[in-house]
Each structure stands twice: as C-alpha cells, then as structure tokens.
Amino acid sequence: MMKHKSKLGYLVFAVLAMALGMGGVANAANLTFNNTYTIDLSSPDVDLMIAGNSEADSLVVGTGSVQVAVGSGNTFTIMSTDRKFEVTGATSADVTNTCVGGEGKVVITGGSLGETITVTPTDNTCPTDTGGGGGGGGGGGGGGSSGTTATTGTTLAPSKPISQMTIPELQTELARLTALLAQLQAAAGGPAAPAEAAVCSATFSTDLAYGMVSNEVKRMQAFMISRGHLAAGYNTGNYYSLTANAVGAYQTSKSISPVPNSFGPLTRAAANADCSL
C-alpha cells in the first residue's frame, strides 16, 4: 500500500490535501484518504498514520497534535506505532482509543454535531503483548494459582481491526470491553453495579432519546450496567455517547435493529421482559 508523508507545521490540511491530489472530495467539506497517509509531527517528533478510507470534514495538523472534524456516520482512523493518544473535545462523536500490542489507535465515528476533536500523542508508549511469559518456573507445577488471576485468558484485542468493523460490530466490541471494565472495577473495589431489584422496581414506560437528562435515563443506565453494557458508575442521568453505545449493544444482543439514540418501545419491551415485568 502506498504511503504518503509530509512534514507539517500548523496549517489547514484540506488545502494540502487538494494541492497533493490526495483522495477525492465527496462534497465541499469532505476529505477522503484513499491511502495510508503519514504525518511527521515535530513536538514530539513522531510519525502518525491516517488509515486509508478515513474521511474528515476538516483536518488541521499542528506541531504536536491533530484537530479533526468528522461528519455524521463517517469514520476517521489515526495510528501510532508506539504512542498512546489523548483525545479531547468529543461530544456527539463515538471515539475508540486503544493502546495495545505496541500500537496506539484512535477511531472516530462522526456524530450529529460534527465537533472538532483534538488527538494528541503522549509520552506514554503502548505495551507489547506479554502473553506466554512465565515459562521458566520449574517443575513444582500445579499448586501455585492465586485468587488474583481470575481474568487470565481474557481477550483484550478485538477479533479484527476496529477500522474494518461495521457499526453493529463496534457496538458489540464496546459492550464487551465495557463489561470487562466493570469486572475490573469490581475487582479493584470500584463503584458497584446497581442492584437489579432497584433497577427493575417498575416498568420502563417512557421513550428516551439522545440528549435527554432525567431520573428515568439514570434508571435505564442502571439497567444497562446490570446487563454489562455500561460500566459501573456511569448512571449519571445524561443520555450521551456512552449511553447510546450501551443501548445499541443491548439492542443488538436482543436482535433489535440498533437505534442507539433511542430507547424506544421495542427496547423498553425487551428490558421489561428481562426484568420479568
């Protein structure tokens, strides 16, 4: 695959993209990266890669960070061979920020607001796979398992690259990681999941939608936590991206065509059935 590379200071990437003939312009404010494109930042001096097939409404490259706006439903992926990323500014967009296997990767799926998101490589490096390490421990064998190894064998990496996943697959993967996070929080003495008796104390009778703030949203979030689709402690009463992802994952698990921005009649009926209401 062809890779392009450019040394950039602080300039609007849309202008550079058109000057280099990079990708196609789908509309007046849309950049398509047909090939992997390498950006050489100066502070820190690191290379970042924009994955092929990424799309953005606008892209500004600074000396030490990248600012990108991604249109609703479009996906933009940026990677580093070793650096962990810090992501700020996301409100309606869905952002997956991973740092595993020696690679840092941020995948942004644009939301309704099309907000500008800042992606900054940090000084922290991504750990390489340390699986299979402790083979030299001699013949004394079996009796040494401790109670702290309950998560041994848990798969952290997705089954295929996140940049190749469909939206339903991403929602399922997020639900898996959220459930794992809930397990780790519980093991570390973090916030406990709400008791199901309290969650299912009454039927879910109100349609809920993205952007709503209410006690009923909070109870719905508690239900999602109890089902492993939302991390413990996130029953805040605000229906935003994390809650939308949890609702979408729950809908997928119930074979409901995912509409993550709406906890509507079909989803309420499934939740009430799970609560035996």
pLDDT along the chain (277 residues), means of 10: 43 39 40 84 88 89 90 92 92 92 90 93 80 47 42 51 75 67 60 59 91 92 89 87 90 88 92 87
**117 three-class SS:** strand
Query: What is residue 186's predicted lDDT score, i.e. its pLDDT?
Result: 58
Phi, psi (rounded to 5 degrees) for 121: -70, 135
pTM here is 0.42
Query: What is residue 88's predicted lDDT score, i.e. its pLDDT?
Result: 95
Pick the CATH number of 210-273 from 3.40.50.2300, 1.10.443.10, 1.10.101.10, 3.40.50.300: 1.10.101.10
Q: Do the domains 29-123 and 210-273 sit in the same CATH topology, yes or no? A: no
207-237 burial: b if 16+ Cβ within 10 Å, else e: ebebebeeebbbbbbbbbbbbbbbbbbbbee
Query: What is residue 170's predicted lDDT score, i.e. its pLDDT?
Result: 73
Query: What is residue 62's predicted lDDT score, i.e. its pLDDT?
Result: 87
CA 105, CA 82: separation in Å to the nearest integer? Answer: 9
Distances (CA, A) of 41 to 36, 79, 96, 242, 274: 16, 13, 22, 31, 51
Contacts of 250-256 with CB under 8 Å at 24 or more apart are 250/175, 250/224, 252/168, 252/171, 252/172, 252/175, 253/172, 253/175, 253/227, 253/229
Query: What is residue 10's predicted lDDT score, i.e. its pLDDT?
Result: 37
Pick the CATH number of 29-123 from 3.40.1130, 2.60.420, 2.60.40, 3.10.450: 2.60.40
Query: What is residue 19's predicted lDDT score, i.e. its pLDDT?
Result: 35
Domain range summary for the chain, segments of one domain joined by +: 29-123, 210-273
Query: What is residue 258's predicted lDDT score, i.e. its pLDDT?
Result: 82
Count the alpha carbons within 13 Å of 174 in the hemisphere toward its beta carbon: 27
